[in-house]
Structure 1
């Protein structure tokens, strides 16, 4: 995503922030509409549900370490969403990508579907439920450039609505921005980001967990990470096969150490200063 100042407008048709939300950059033609599954009938009564679109179905798997997404495109959005309402169980919110100018052709939609699937898989934040990578098309360079521009707008709007589907975790910065957790034989590196604590690929977690940890919620998450291949056995340890963002420093430390931990104290920078001292007790603006 290009990083520059943007003005994004969010419209609440019912006035409810938890209801249907529309997001757009008013100078561009792309509009995203987020629809809670419970309010699908309300959306189907809106004129925006007629015609074609690229759409996304989001859900949280009961036994998945990552949220799930299904990405599709259709020339008849209303019919397709009704079908998914009957046949797909996992999703709880849909997001549709529309053209305010009704200018998305079938070729645009097919190209964007494939591009979205590829970028979502590359980012690795969500489990992509599609069986294929979308249709491969012979498109002109101008068409590809146009679709890339549409995608860029959609990417910004998607993240604004709370779905960072296409965003890779922040890249590793210099050593001053790294924190380490070496308790109980673990050897993990992480960054404290706006989203939480990002434990980095190659970090090593303790292979065993304490008895008191086994009845805690983080133990279930640890098992999910193992099942998803985010954590893989490496001798008597578990190794992170990819960067993984935890919502809190303590959650990250608990998974790494296999015990309940205060992450603000467990994570330390290269100088031995705790995350608490460096961030919470650090210089104030």
Structure 2
């Protein structure tokens, strides 16, 4: 995604920031419309719903640990989304990408559907309900260039609305830099976690080992939460005492990530340390506000 400065406008047609939101970069023709399922009828009454477009249905019924999507395209968004409303249960919001000038063609939409799904799977943040991804559609080079520009704009707008579908959890520069790594160890329980502190939260890296059992003090709610991580295949039991992280996973805080590994309440700012044994708190929090 381009890091150049941008001006993004978000229009609230109903005046409610929790309702339908229309995002656009002011100098470009692409729009992304976020539609709560409860307000689908409102969107279907808008002229934008009659256009050619690409859409992503988003479901988060189990919270951030089981975020699912479905990617599609249609020359008649109104009919297709109404059909999904009747037949697909998992989703709560639709993200619809269209052109302000109504200039997307079916060829654009077919290529973008394929490319969106490919990039979404590569990022690995969301699991998809699409099944077979299909083959790359034939697209003339000029039209493909248009699609790549549309995708770049759409990606920025998705992220602005709170859906970083195509952004990797960990930048390559962070993953390959040992200075950015933090570790959570508990020799008596076999916990051996590795992670990164990012702008979004704390990422526990794939292959990290945690404790399967829960300490009594963890509480019922947190015990259920750890079980959800297992059911969502974020971490899997290995043997009788351990869990292993199947993939990189973002937690909202260092403490949540430490609790997932340790099976007990934990202060992640203290539990996570760099290779020299310096805590995350000392490196990232305690020195804030100190004179350089």
TM-score w.r.t. length of structure 2: 0.91
* 2-structure distance, mates of 1:134, 1:238: 34
Contact 2:51 2:98 in 1 (8 A): no
- Displacement, 1:63? 8.5
* 1-structure distance, mates of 2:129, 2:206: 23
Partner of 1:231: 235
Partner of 1:114: 114
* 2-structure distance, mates of 1:41, 1:202: 45
Partner of 1:175: 178
Question: Which region of structure 1 is more displaced relative to structure 2, 93-102 or 203-212?
Answer: 203-212
Once the two structures are superposed, residues 88-126 of structure 1 have per-residue CA deviations (whole angstroms, 9 ceiling, x without a partner) of 111111110001121111111011001111111111111
* 2-structure distance, mates of 1:25, 1:46: 20
Contact 1:66 1:125 in 2 (8 A): no
Contact 1:185 1:206 in 2 (8 A): yes
Contact 1:179 1:275 in 2 (8 A): yes
Partner of 2:226: 222
Alignment of 1:43-192 (within 5 A): 43-62=43-62, 65-134=65-134, 136-171=136-171, 172-183=175-186, 184-192=189-197
Give the gaps of 5 or more residues in structure 2.
none
- Displacement, 1:283? 3.5
Give the gaps of 5 or more residues in structure 1.
none
* 2-structure distance, mates of 1:52, 1:110: 10
Q: Once superposed, what is the RMSD of the aligned Cα atoms?
A: 1.9
- Displacement, 1:140? 2.0
- Provide closer, same or farther for how the CA distance between residues 257 and 70 of structure 1 changes in structure 2, counting only shifts above 3 A: same
- Provide closer, same or farther for how the CA distance between residues 283 and 176 of structure 1 changes in structure 2, counting only shifts above 3 A: farther
* 2-structure distance, mates of 1:22, 1:134: 30
- Displacement, 1:28? 1.5
Question: Which region of structure 1 is more displaced relative to structure 2, 10-19 or 155-164?
Answer: 10-19
Partner of 2:198: 193
- Displacement, 1:64? 8.1
Partner of 2:286: 281
Number of aligned residue pairs:
284
